[in-house]
Amino acid sequence: MSAYPFEPFRIKVVEPIKRTSREERERSIAAAGYNLFKVRAEDCTVDLLTDSGTGAMSDTQWSAIMHGDESYAGARSFYTLKQSVEDVTGLPYFVPTHQGRAAENILFRVTVKPGQSVPSNQHFDTTHANIRARGGKPVDLVIAEAAEPAKQHPFKGNMDIARLERFIDTVGANNIPVGMTTITNNSAGGQPVSMENLRATADVYHRHQIPFFIDAARFAENAYFIQQREAGYAGKSIEAIVREQFSYADGFTMSAKKDAIVNIGGLLAMRDADLFERVKNELILREGFPTYGGLAGRDLEALAVGLREGMDQDYLAYRVAQTAYLGDRLREAGIPIVEPPGGHAIYIDARSLLPHIPQAQFPAQALSVALYVAGGIRTVEIGSVMFAYPDPDTGAMLYPTTELVRLAIPRRVYTQAHLDYVATTCIHVNEQRDSIRGLKIIHEPLLLRHFTAEFELV
Ligand SMILES: Cc1ncc(COP(=O)(O)O)c(C=O)c1O
């Protein structure tokens, strides 16, 4: 088993954790309609719901916040961020947004028409929903290995290039206003995409005159995996690898709440000046003036620092090793996880763990609930609650291939003792897995149902 990594920081501010009893947690989860999003955060012992916006900012970020220029237009903080975005990504035009999904909304509002398709290796849920909200079709073309949780592959987030070619030939390039790739692939285990694959994806899109946008939420973790696993990159700096990743793209959407280690923020960047004009008009309508987007000046400052800090070699080595440590502990206890561990989270394969629960009864949601009741561990379902939807033509339910429970690790927040507690709780739940019951939805909204749906035990 890998050793727990040395944390390349000291802790200056702490936040208490409330301890709860099993009975209290049973009451909380029932009152929340068995939806972990509806449980109060203070009732969670270790909160692994998401690594999004939950990181601990550094002293440098907190001090940058005091430099926030809150002017409506042309704030100094915008220019500080502009310099960071240019240095880190090399893209000439960008707007700040309040978070990743706002960048997606704006991009698809100005590019996607009803009936058009947007291919990707695998869209995240908000990207998926924002494309559908425009009448578009999100299409996932990740390599087949991604559907096999136990399979080892160094770049399991890769696009299946042959499938992408075939898909473009079938629907026609003029029905594809934008093509994407998500780095790392959050929906299938936080798996990285190789540089070779990014290059090949860009080549295919560009040969068909399709603009290529990267969903860059975890741009730095992806670069770290490239450095560690791809031939020819071992001696390169993270900064150089990040620049090369972005060099193949015509633009990117970014939830800055991940690798840019801020509690709120997003970016939408591009090379095309005409697209930038359309984006700015849409931004003014929905987010704010182009020099602040949906953010305060202080948020722009924290983001300008976080973009650079997220690429620190020692920090990335610690982060990826911390995630691998949790993965090792679960694997050694016989708990099936998505292999190999990704950067930001460990994903438990609920379909293998709970073969007695059919997909229609949401095995991953059932496991999530069990982990909360057993130890106050809050996780998220990435399975049929999040991704099953009725086929628009036939009405038949389309189920995802995997049913995963994601244990996402907030950045610079939890220590080894916390992760050992998580592992012990998972092991305890695994021992009692035959008694876990499936769930039935009793209320759901039209889109993004996992956030607000309510369930009852079957
Ligand atoms: C890959 C990916 N894309 C987009 C998003 C959406 O970002 P946000 O939550 O900031 O709206 C997320 C995170 O939730 C994500 O993981």
**pLDDT at position 457 over 80:** yes
Please report, as a single letter, which amino acid is at residue 179: G
Q: Which member of 140, 160, 215, 328 is catalytic?
A: 215
Asked if residues 155 and 215 have their Cβ atoms less than 8 Å apart, the reply is no
Question: Among residues 196, 295, 298, which one has the least CA distance to residue 248?
Answer: 196
Distance of CA 190 from the midpoint of ligand 1 (Å): 12
Q: Which member of 72, 113, 203, 240 is catalytic?
A: 72
Question: Which residue, judged by its Cα, is nearest atom 6 of ligand 1?
Answer: 100
Express each pLDDT in 202-236 by its tens digit.
999 999 999 999 999 999 999 999 999 999 999 99
**pLDDT at position 389 over 90:** no
Residues paired with residue 213 on neighbouring β-strands, in sequence order:
180, 251
DSSP 42: G
Please tell me the total number of residues recorded for the chain in this structure.
Answer: 458
**pLDDT at position 393 over 90:** no
Where does 22-51+313-457 sit in CATH, by number? 3.90.1150.10
Express each pLDDT in 292-325 by its tens digit.
999 999 999 999 999 999 999 999 999 999 999 9
The model's confidence at residue 378, banded by pLDDT at 50, 70 and 90, is very high
Asked if residues 149 and 349 have their Cβ atoms less than 8 Å apart, the reply is yes
Q: Where are the domains of the chain?
A: 22-51+313-457, 59-309
Question: Which residue, judged by its Cα, is nearest atom 8 of ligand 1?
Answer: 100
Q: Residue 275 has which token pair?
A: 């697209």
Question: Which residue, judged by its Cα, is nearest atom 9 of ligand 1?
Answer: 100
Nearest ligand 1 atom to the CA of 185 is 1
Query: Percentage of the chain with pLDDT > 70?
Result: 100
Helix residue spans in 310-349 (DSSP H): 313-332
Q: What is the pTM of this model?
A: 0.95
Euclidean distance between CA atoms 241 and 364, whole angstroms: 35
Euclidean distance between CA atoms 108 and 268, whole angstroms: 11
Q: Which member of 125, 250, 259, 299 is catalytic?
A: 125
Name every protein residue with a CB atom under 6 angstroms from any ligand 1 atom: 52, 99-101, 124, 126-127, 182, 186, 215, 217, 255, 257, 266
Q: Which residue has the tokens 């990181």?
A: 55
β pairing state of 46-47 and 377-378? parallel
**pLDDT at position 1 over 80:** no
Where does 59-309 sit in CATH, by number? 3.40.640.10
Rounded to 5 degrees, φ, ψ at 349 are -85, 95
Q: Which helix (H) or strand (E) holds 429?
A: helix 416-431
| Alpha-carbon distances of 72 from 66, 68, 287, rounded to whole Å | 17, 12, 13
Residue 101: what pLDDT?
A: 97
Q: Which residue has the tokens 């237009």?
A: 73
